[in-house]
Structure 1
Amino acid sequence: MRFPASLIVTTLFLTACGGSGGVGSSANNSSSQSSDTANQSSASSTDPERSGLDERPVNEHCPAGESPASGGGVALERVYPGLSFNQPVALLQAPLDDSRWFVLEQSGRIIVFDKDPEVTEVDEFADLRDRVDNSAGSGESGLLSMAFHPDYADNGDVFLYYQVSRDTGEPVQDDCCVNQLVRYRVNDQGTALDPDSAEVLLSFPAPYENHFGGHLAFDEAGYLYLSIGDGGSAGDPQDRAQNTANLWGSVIRIDVDGEAPYSIPEDNPFADQAAFLCDSNEQMQDKQASGGDCPELYAWGLRNPWRWSFDRATGDLWLADVGQGEWEEVNRIRRGGNYGWNIREGAHCYNADDCETGGLIDPMAEVPQPEFRSITGGVVYRGEAVPSLRGRYLFGDYITGRFYALTDETGEDGLREIEHLDEQTGLNIASFAQDLAGEVYLVDYNGGLYQVVPSDDNEGEPLPQRLSETGCVDPDDPREPAEGLIPYTVKAPF
């Protein structure tokens, strides 16, 4: 395993094993050791080429502790057990506010509650069931994602992605589906969204009733990203994910602080076509007819990118893409990247023995079906509670409930190895979440919320962060060894 750089020193020390006796020590063993030591000492006094110890050193302060468990040692703990939600699909906090949680229910409600382990009461932040259509036969439509503007505390802006009916008359849920990205503003009291503040930024009908994507989040630069599915059916029959004249099967990036309805970041792949947006189906059709590309596109070639996140330490965008029938995949998204669907599923040719893979980006990892059947993208763990998971990407599966992590190891196929954290969570993992401290939570579609925590029996000891904390050096002068350590140098030259 890799230790902190703070533990690397230029002077080498030999630690006496076993402290004052070690496992299996006895009086007879001690007598035998004393006799051996005496003989060894006598020999060394007459033979300068012999080396040894006159007395076995005692060091009780610098033992080798148990390493943090690499994958075991992780558990899921039900949190806020006094609450239950109706088909929750997302959990998040507002920027700079660690005191509350927001839960999205697929039907169109947003619930807010205090971050109190004993909480039993909730408030309604929004009720949009009079406009959200969750009637798609696939069960995939509804209120799917929410993102707070980075300056939410000042401007009160909130962005939602959901489906509405094609027929705007009553009843609401009778003619699914039209995808919409909508900006809302919080009311003057800051307690709920103002339903009359809705500003539709994107609106385009779905060709089929599945594969809507979709996840929303802002990056550090303040740009808004949205993942959109390939439009549905099976196999992407119209090859939409490979068509850059529409937004299907993609991740888009826009500037919501620019000119209405939004502007295009200057380094988007097709930013030179920013004068002609793809904010409606008509615009996309015109773009197709003119041979152009949608300036909103950031990456494409995706099937149904349901959940993704930014690594809080590096800014990398990690995204899980739901497979067709063979492979579920994890991708690290790059600007201008083509991730292969429907030429490939994962790293494999789709419906063909051979395919042209030039210009396609391989996934970071893949899981075969039926081991996974509907992957739910997760997060890179940056919390403190489970040291063994730091820097690792966590993800799961909606149908099988399996909970996995990527390792740093690479297999023979060039993809990341996967560690199985929990094969039987018993959950329908709909989403992952992080609190402001970096701790990770899972959203169970059946109504519960769970936190990733260390298990009681297999987490191991946390690594010391400073040399002075190891017990191997003088705490007042870490350049000097602790009592009981034996300085030595390498005798034979390299």
Structure 2
Amino acid sequence: MISIFAVVFILQILLSHIINKSGFFINGKRFANEYFGFLNAYTVASLYVFLATTINYDPQFVAIIGVLSTLFYLFLYLILAFSWQKQSVMVSLKIAIFSLLKKTVTFAGVFTLLFFLTPLVLGKAFTSDRDIANQITQIRIWFNPEPESEWGLKNLYPGIKFAQPVLVTQSAGQLDALYVLERTGRVMKVSYPEDNEADVILDFSDKMDEIEMENGAVGLAFHPDFPVQPYVYIYYTDTRPANGQLNQLVRFNIELATLEERNKSETLIISMQREDDGFHNGGSVEFGPDRMLYVGLGEGVHPKGQELSSEVLRSGIIRIDVLNETNDSLPPQPFKYGELGNYRVPSDNPFIGRDDIRNEYWALGLRNPFRFNFDPVTEQLWVGDVGSTIWEEVNKIEKGGHYQFPVIEGYTTTGKSGWEALGLTEHPPIYTYQHSAYDRAIIGGVVARGDKYPSLKGLYIFADNYSSKVFAMPTDENKVENVNTIARANQYAQRGVSSVKQLQGGGLVFTTLGTASEHGGEVLLLVKAQDADADIVEDEGSKVPKNYDETITAPLFAVNCARCHGAVGKGDGPDSSMLGVPMPDLTSPMFHNGKSKDVLVSVIRDGGAQHGLSPMMPPWGGFLKDEEIEHLAIYLQSLPEKHHHH
């Protein structure tokens, strides 16, 4: 960015010299002309960076460039005025200010000032109005067209519709089968590379009760010696307890003869109390090259607060020994917010011996590390950390590292505090991207290895859940500015990509959630573009029935709306405080006064800005079906009767 400004400033100085001949800063009038020329150049450079490049536009940094450049211009004028005209600093300063004011009231001066305000206005609009943000994004795309990718996605099992699949994986050495974890609490087995029917290996859906928000089954890992050791480790949310939800890490034996026996083989490893809003559970469960189990934990743990690192397990990655293979491992420390058992703590964990951090932690300061994987060549752990309302992150995880949440997200300070007193080494993200209307939930991926995808070898392949875009990123840089979009799945807006894995044979596979109302999830394989599914069209099986059914629409609200509007619509969702605008209480009769169903449909479809409401309400038309939007409007109209208390 600095180089762009420097080049533009040099060109401006040369052009000014050609137009005005000699006598750079010879008097106050010439200084005013030079400075207003600088303002035009500064604005051109700002607009170029903002609209025509893929550089992350940092308004504060651009402002600093402007202030420092202004001080440099003024300092240079004062020096030259003293050298050439023997004027005192105060006299020269008065002349400079008078000349600038005089220039300001000219036509050229007014034009320059209005032009100067353009990037400031656009920057403000970009962060507050999603329609303008989308238009600006289109301008950026026009200036920076991406070449057509050689890759696309192909549905491996068009005859099978999964119930919100959150993960696809393989067991060690078993090349002819895939296992699909459904959010609803089932593990399905399918033959690879093709099959027409999935076998139910586990069904623990009765242990989770209602699936809402981000709850459900989210992580799975096979024992490293499977099937000799016939165990699978699963992480899920149990919403049944009357006194609060629980995040559970458990083990099942999936080689028992019957489904009933397998379901009953559950062994508890960790049970953690969590907040009842259902958000930010973490997700990944992975055995590392060291045969230790790594688990990603989100911030949605009870009790809230980042200062309880000695008492709770949250916002980080833990490393535990569930195989009991280390002789000098330690028992878990006392835990008052849940139940621990059937694991040990490796003695080489980074926080052994500290009283202020639980010794299970491997890394801290991650908001919601939903998906992570180890590079099979370098053994480096890569994580996609799901952000709040602005930034998504890719992080390289180091032993004992602190990844800055909640103090910093992306490269932006949040004004919050947490864990500063622990004295840990802080690590900024390797790559971060800012939310658009639909790029806003990173799905951590894998470093592509092997020879199946030559052009992707060594690149980090990850995705976004909302847009279902698949990205490729270099792994040999400490800070990555740009990534390439290589494919896009055919489901989006929280129906999109939920996991990225590389199979033992080299294939890159993905899951997409599909709708919450019907089985519509898919398992996709990255293939050459000419072999990909031809059209990005949702399958007929994912259509919502035309007859309104609240049991279908309530989960639709929970998945797409509750993050901001709250679980029952009171405006108290976990992201509501970050939006900068007051949230309406959808359960209040006053909110619905004068609002017909058609009005609600229009706002949901078009977004808030189109109707004079908050631009933070995105347009859902095209991402939700017309029937779904209509049913959401009906559901909103029912909220006052259900939840409003006089």
Which interval holds the TM-score relative to the shorter structure? 0.5 to 0.7
2:161 to 62, 81, 84: 84
1:399 corresponding residue in structure 2: 466
Aligned-residue offset at 1:263? 1.1
Aligned-residue offset at 1:408? 5.4
2:223 corresponding residue in structure 1: 149
Aligned-residue offset at 1:437? 1.5
Residues 65-464 of structure 1 mapped to structure 2, 5 A cutoff: 72-117=149-194, 119-136=195-212, 139-165=213-239, 167=241, 177-189=245-257, 194-208=262-276, 209-231=278-300, 238-239=305-306, 243-258=309-324, 261-272=342-353, 291-351=355-415, 359-370=425-436, 372-407=439-474, 414-422=479-487, 425-427=490-492, 428-446=496-514, 447-456=521-530
Q: Please give the per-residue CA displacement for 1:236-266, whole angstroms capped at 9, x wherever unaligned.
A: 96225x8354210010000112276211112
Same amino acid, percent of matched pairs: 30
CA contact under 8 A between 2:155 and 2:525: conserved in structure 1?
yes
CA contact under 8 A between 2:351 and 2:361: conserved in structure 1?
yes
Coordinate RMSD, CA, aligned: 2.9
CA contact under 8 A between 2:401 and 2:424: conserved in structure 1?
no
CA contact under 8 A between 1:125 and 1:193: conserved in structure 2?
no
CA contact under 8 A between 2:384 and 2:442: conserved in structure 1?
yes
Instruction: Measure, in 1, the Cα distance between the counterparts of 2:499 and 2:264.
Output: 29
DSSP 3-state at the match of 1:221: coil
Structure 1 residues 326-335 or 366-375, which shifts more? 366-375
2:49 corresponding residue in structure 1: none
CA contact under 8 A between 1:70 and 1:388: conserved in structure 2?
no
Name the aligned partner's letter for residue 266 of structure 1. S
Aligned-residue offset at 1:349? 0.8
Instruction: Measure, in 1, the Cα distance between the counterparts of 2:304 and 2:370.
Output: 20
Aligned-residue offset at 1:223? 0.4
Aligned-residue offset at 1:351? 3.6
Name the aligned partner's letter for residue 227 of structure 1. G
Count of matched residue pairs: 358
Aligned-residue offset at 1:163? 1.0
TM-score by length of 2: 0.52
Aligned-residue offset at 1:434? 1.9
Name the aligned partner's letter for residue 161 of structure 2. S
Aligned-residue offset at 1:216? 0.3
- Write 1 or 2 for the structure with the bigger share of helix: 2
DSSP 3-state at the match of 2:366: coil
Q: Please give the per-residue CA displacement for 1:148-200, whole angstroms capped at 9, x wherever unaligned.
A: 110122121111111113527xxxxxx76201111111244498872222111
Aligned-residue offset at 1:358? 7.9
Instruction: Measure, in 1, the Cα distance between the counterparts of 2:291 and 2:147.
Output: 35
Instruction: Measure, in 2, the Cα distance between the counterparts of 1:374 and 1:425.
Output: 16
Q: Please give the per-residue CA displacement for 1:17-62, whole angstroms capped at 9, x wherever unaligned.
A: xxxxxxxxxxxxxxxxxxxxxxxxxxxxxxxxxxxxxxxxxxxxxx
Q: Tell me: CA distance 1:441–1:132, structure 2 relative to 1, closer, same or farther (3 Å).
A: same
Aligned-residue offset at 1:296? 0.6
Q: Please give the per-residue CA displacement for 1:457-481, whole angstroms capped at 9, x wherever unaligned.
A: 99xxxxxxxxxxxxxxxxxxxxxxx
Instruction: Measure, in 1, the Cα distance between the counterparts of 2:230 and 2:416.
Output: 50
Instruction: Measure, in 1, the Cα distance between the counterparts of 2:394 and 2:294.
Output: 18
DSSP 3-state at the match of 1:362: coil
Aligned-residue offset at 1:435? 1.3
- Write 1 or 2 for the structure with the bigger share of strand: 1
Q: Tell me: CA distance 1:332–1:352, structure 2 relative to 1, closer, same or farther (3 Å).
A: same
Q: Please give the per-residue CA displacement for 1:377-431, whole angstroms capped at 9, x wherever unaligned.
A: 11111142321000100111111222211135859xx435312223675440111
Gap runs ≥5 in structure 1 = 1-68, 169-174, 274-290, 459-494
Q: Tell me: CA distance 1:358–1:266, structure 2 relative to 1, closer, same or farther (3 Å).
A: closer
Aligned-residue offset at 1:363? 0.5
CA contact under 8 A between 1:210 and 1:231: conserved in structure 2?
yes
CA contact under 8 A between 1:133 and 1:141: conserved in structure 2?
no
DSSP 3-state at the match of 2:227: helix
Q: Tell me: CA distance 1:191–1:249, structure 2 relative to 1, closer, same or farther (3 Å).
A: same
Q: Tell me: CA distance 1:93–1:161, structure 2 relative to 1, closer, same or farther (3 Å).
A: same
Instruction: Measure, in 1, the Cα distance between the counterparts of 2:485 and 2:353.
Output: 44
Q: Tell me: CA distance 1:244–1:381, structure 2 relative to 1, closer, same or farther (3 Å).
A: farther
CA contact under 8 A between 1:410 and 1:416: conserved in structure 2?
no
2:120 corresponding residue in structure 1: none
Gap runs ≥5 in structure 2 = 1-145, 325-330, 332-340, 515-520, 533-646
Residues 464-483 of structure 1 mapped to structure 2, 5 A cutoff: none
Instruction: Measure, in 2, the Cα distance between the counterparts of 1:158 and 1:125.
Output: 11
Instruction: Measure, in 2, the Cα distance between the counterparts of 1:86 and 1:368.
Output: 30
Moved over 6 A (4+): 190-193, 355-358
User: Of the two structures, which has the highest relative contact order with CA contacts closer than 8 Å and spacing of 6 or more?
Assistant: 1
Instruction: Measure, in 2, the Cα distance between the counterparts of 1:102 and 1:152.
Output: 13
CA contact under 8 A between 1:406 and 1:416: conserved in structure 2?
no
CA contact under 8 A between 1:386 and 1:454: conserved in structure 2?
no
2:42 corresponding residue in structure 1: none
Instruction: Measure, in 1, the Cα distance between the counterparts of 2:476 and 2:229.
Output: 44
CA contact under 8 A between 1:381 and 1:439: conserved in structure 2?
no
